Structure 1
C-alpha cells in the first residue's frame, strides 16, 4: 500500500513537471514527501558509488532509501510518458490556448515565489532585477530553435531537473526558456530513446551536482536566491506570449518549415498578419484558469500544513 501511495504521489509530481509553471517540488511539499525526497537525493553520493563498485547492492539500496525513491520515480516516469504526447498535440494544434494557460501559470507561480522572500531590500530587489534582465535577454537573444546536439540536451536536463527540488520553480518552464520543451515532449511521446537517455543522464548529473549547491545557496543567501528565481520567471514571460510574428524560418529534418526567430505582437496585429482569429476571449479565460490553478494548489498546501499543525 505504501508503494502504491508513493507511486501516486510521484504521478502527481510528474504531471506537474510536464506543465510549465507548476513545480513538481510544490506537489512533493503538498503531499508530505518533500523532506524525505531531498534527503534521499542527497544520499546519492560517493558513498553510494563505493557500495555499487564493491557489489553491495543491498547496502546501496538502503543507503539511497530505495524503497522510497523507486515508487516515486516510477510514478513520475509513468505520468511524464503518459502526458507528453498530449502536450505535443496541444502545442501543435492549439498554440494560443496552451500558451495562454502557461502564461497564467507562470505569473501566479512568480507571485507565490515572491512570498518566500523574507525581507525585501536593496539586495533582493537588485537580485530580482538581475534575474528578470538575464531571462529577458535570453528569450530575446536565443532563437526558438536551440541546438539539438547531445551536449545541449544533456545541459537542458541538468538545469531543468533542479526545479524538482525547488517548490515554485517548474522544470518544464526551464525547458521552455531553453527552447527545448517541445523537442523533449516530442522525444518522449515518440519514444526517441537516444534523446531520452541523454536527457536523463543530464538530469541525473544535474540533480546530484546541484542539490547540495542549491541547498547551500538557500541556507546562506535565501532571499537573494529566491528573488533571482522570481526574476527569472518574470523575465521569461516574453517566451510564452501567445501571439507571435514569425520573422525567420528554417526547414526541419522532415522538410517542414518551422519558426526560427519570432517577435511578440498584439492580438489585433496577429489577426492582421495571419488572417487567423486571435481567440482573445479563450486566451484570457485560459490565462485566468492557469492563474487560479496555481492558487488552488497553494491554498491546498496551506490547508494541509494547518491540519498537520492541529
Structure 2
C-alpha cells in the first residue's frame, strides 16, 4: 500500500510536470486539485537552516525525515520525468491540436477553481477581496507583452527564481512567466540539448526562489488560510483568459530553428476565429473536451478522497 502511495505521488508529480511545460497551465493547480498542495509547500519549507546543519553533519536519515524526503522525492521524480520525456508531446499537441488542448485545460481549470472554493471555510470581505485581487493580477499577467531579455548568468538565475514561484501558484504558469521574460524557448532548448551550464544556473535560481517563497506561502496558509486560498482561486479564474481556445495572432516570434510561434494574441469568438482563419471553429469538439477536463478533475478528486480514507483506515 505504501509503495502504491508513492507511485501515485509520482504520477501526480508527472501531471504537474506536464502542466509546467505548457505556457498558461500551472503545476500548482494540479498539486491543489490532487490534494498535495499544502504538504508540498510545507515539505519545501522544511529545507531550512536545520536541514543544512543535518546535511553538514552527515545525518542523512534525520535530514530525510526532516524534509519529508519520500514525499518530495516521489513528486520531484514525477515532475522531472514529465519535463524531460513529455515536453515534446505537449509541444506537438499544442502545435497541431491547439483548440482541443486549450479547451481541455479550460474545463480543467474551471473545475479546479470550484473545488478550491470548498477549501475556503468562511467567505467574508477579506476572502472576496483576495479573490478579486488574484483574478485581476492573473488576468493582467496574461495580457502583458513579452520582453527581450539578456542571456547572462544573473538573468538566468533570476528567471529560475521567478518562474518556480509561479509554478507553485495555482493559476499562474511558470512557463508563461518564462515566456514573458523572453526565456521560454531558451530554457526549453537547453533542456532538449542538455546544456548543463544553463540548466545548473536555472536550477540554482529555482531552488533559492522556491525555498524562500514557500516560507512566505506556508506562513500565509497558517495565519490567513481563507484569504490565501481565495487569492489562489482568483489566480485560477484570471488565468482562464490565457487558456481560451480561440485566438487571433497579433504578433509572432521565431525560435532557434526559424519556426514562427504566437507571441501576442487576443481572444475571439469561435465564429470570428472561423472567419479570420478560414478553418473550422471545432466548437463541438472543444465543448466535449472542456467537459472531459471538468470531469477528469472531479474523478481525480474522488479517487484522492477514497485513497485518503483507505490510508487513514490502514494507519488507524
TM-score (normalizing by structure 2): 0.80
- Specify the alignment match of 1:153 in structure 2: 159
Equivalent position to 2:217, from 214, 218, 243: 214
Change (3 A) 1:261 1:38: closer
Q: Give the number of aligned pairs.
A: 299
Does residue 89 (structure 1) correspond to residue 92 (structure 2)? The answer is: yes
Equivalent position to 1:223, from 226, 229, 236: 226
- Specify the alignment match of 1:264 in structure 2: 267
Extract unaligned runs of 5+ from structure 1: 164-168
Report which stretch shifted further, 59-68 or 262-271. 59-68
Asked if the contact 1:4–1:71 (Cα under 8 Å) also holds between the matched residues in 2, the reply is no
> C-alpha separation between the residues in 2 aligned to 1:309 and 1:8?
16
After superposition, the C-alpha distances for 1:224-248 in whole angstroms (9 at most, x for unaligned) are 1111111111111111111111112
2:34 counterpart SS class: helix
Extract unaligned runs of 5+ from structure 2: 20-24
Equivalent position to 1:135, from 124, 138, 141: 138
Does residue 299 (structure 1) correspond to residue 299 (structure 2)? The answer is: no
1:1-310 counterparts in 2 under 5 A? Answer: 6-7=6-7, 9-19=9-19, 20=25, 22-27=29-34, 29=36, 35=39, 40-53=43-56, 60-61=63-64, 63-66=66-69, 69-143=72-146, 147=149, 149=151, 150-151=156-157, 153-163=159-169, 169=170, 173-176=173-176, 179=179, 183=185, 188-189=191-192, 191-307=194-310
TM-score (normalizing by structure 1): 0.81
Change (3 A) 1:294 1:191: farther
Asked if the contact 2:44–2:210 (Cα under 8 Å) also holds between the matched residues in 1, the reply is yes
Report which stretch shifted further, 204-213 or 176-185. 176-185
RMSD (Å), alpha carbons: 3.2
